[in-house]
Structure 1
Amino acid sequence: MQGAEGTATHGAEGMAPAASGEMHTSTEAAGHGGGEANFPPFDSSTFPSQLVWLAITFGLFYYLMSKVVLPRIAQTLEQRHDRIASDLAEAERLKGETDEAIAAYEQSLAEARQRANDIAKTTRERVQQSIDAERAEAEAGLVERAAEAEKHIAEVKAKAMGEVDAIATETAEALVTALGGGKVTKAELSKAVSAARG
């Protein structure tokens, strides 16, 4: 048993240096190989395949750009341009309608002002005519009343003067009689009173 254990131990000890040597060899090999390996894109042995993939990638990119991306961009730009043109046309149309509406409003306002001025002028003329007619009628009435008043005054004056002459004649007759001047006729007294009145 002891001999077997010694053999096993000796065998394990013999295997350990062997494994250690293999690891050292593989590490050195890896170190030498790592120093000689190049970065794949810079490896000249892969240039042909890289060029092929570059051409394929560029072709696919060009195809996608020319057939998908650029047409969509062009379509979007065209739609935007059309929409802008449509909006500008609509704005121009609305501006024209607004200008027409403003012109129509100003024309209607001018016509309304003209009608108002005409109505005011006609009203002023009618009022003036009415005032003139009433004034003429009033003046005619005043003239007529003044004539009637003057006529009445003349009649009253004539009547009063007649009564004054009669009173003066009677007074003169009474004075002559009182003074003893003899008998004098009324005709003579009236003539004397009229001459004295002038």
Structure 2
Amino acid sequence: MAQAQTTHAATEAHGGAHEDVGFPPFKTETYAGQIIWLTITFVVLYALLSKLVLPRLSGIIEHRRVTIAGDLDGAAAMKSRAEEAGVAYEKALSEAKGRAQTLAQEARSKVSAETDAKRKALEGDLAKRLAEAEAVIAQKKTEAMANVRGIAIDTAAAIVERLTGKAPAPQAVEAALDQSKA
């Protein structure tokens, strides 16, 4: 408890128990010292900022500006190259389409010509075979017609023999056929 009384006594001795101390910057006795220290602090901070911080900041800002400008220039160059590549691609694509259409037309023409040539060759071959077949048919028809008279005579003679039981004379059968023809 003795220690508590000593602390209380020291406090009262320093400024008194109820003495109004006030805010130190507002005390008029310390204005001159405050202004000197404010000036010294301002000059030191100004010197530090102007000699160390501001050159570094301006260097950083300039470096960023140069980097950004370079990046923008690079992006513009890349954009123009991309546009040129796109134009070249479109041109190449249109040329390729044109060539493909030309090749397709040539292929169609070639196939059409080959097909026409084959068709004409087949038609010629078929016409030749048809003519040969018609000639063979006409020859066989002529041969058959030449044999028809003989077959008719033989058939008529066989029929008369079967009906009468006796074979007729071949001249009589021929005469009967000639008579029926007329």
TM-score interval for Structure 1 and Structure 2 normalised by the shorter chain = 0.5 to 0.7
Bigger mean CA deviation after superposition, 164-173 or 123-132 = 164-173
The two structures have a TM-score, normalised by structure 1, of 0.62
Cα deviation digits, residues 130-172 of structure 1 (max 9, x gap)? 1111111111111111111111211121122123235557879
Identity %: 40
Higher relative contact order (CA 8 A, sep 6+): 1
Whole-angstrom distance in 2 between the partners of 1:61 and 1:139: 111
* Aligned mate of 1:133, from 108, 117, 135: 117
Whole-angstrom distance in 1 between the partners of 2:181 and 2:172: 21
In the TM superposition, residue 98 of structure 1 has moved relative to its aligned partner by 2.0
* Aligned mate of 2:91, from 98, 104, 107: 107
Whole-angstrom distance in 1 between the partners of 2:80 and 2:103: 34
| Corresponding residue for residue 77 of structure 2 | 93
For structure 2, the 5+ residue unaligned runs are 1-8, 158-167
In the TM superposition, residue 196 of structure 1 has moved relative to its aligned partner by 4.3
Aligned residues: CA RMSD: 3.6
| Corresponding residue for residue 56 of structure 2 | 72
Cα deviation digits, residues 50-74 of structure 1 (max 9, x gap)? 3223222222222333333223222
The two structures have a TM-score, normalised by structure 2, of 0.66
Whole-angstrom distance in 1 between the partners of 2:123 and 2:181: 38
- Greater gyration radius: 1
**1:174 equivalenced with 2:169 (yes/no):** yes
Whole-angstrom distance in 2 between the partners of 1:197 and 1:108: 87
Whole-angstrom distance in 1 between the partners of 2:89 and 2:128: 57
Are residues 177 and 61 of structure 1, via their aligned partners in 2, closer, same or farther at CA, if it must alter by over 3 Å? Answer: closer
Whole-angstrom distance in 2 between the partners of 1:126 and 1:196: 65
Amino acid corresponding to residue 174 of structure 1 in structure 2: A
Cα deviation digits, residues 16-38 of structure 1 (max 9, x gap)? xxxxxxxxxxx89x93x7459x7
Structure 1 stretches of at least 4 aligned residues deviating more than 6 Å after TM superposition: 169-173
* Aligned mate of 1:57, from 32, 35, 41: 41
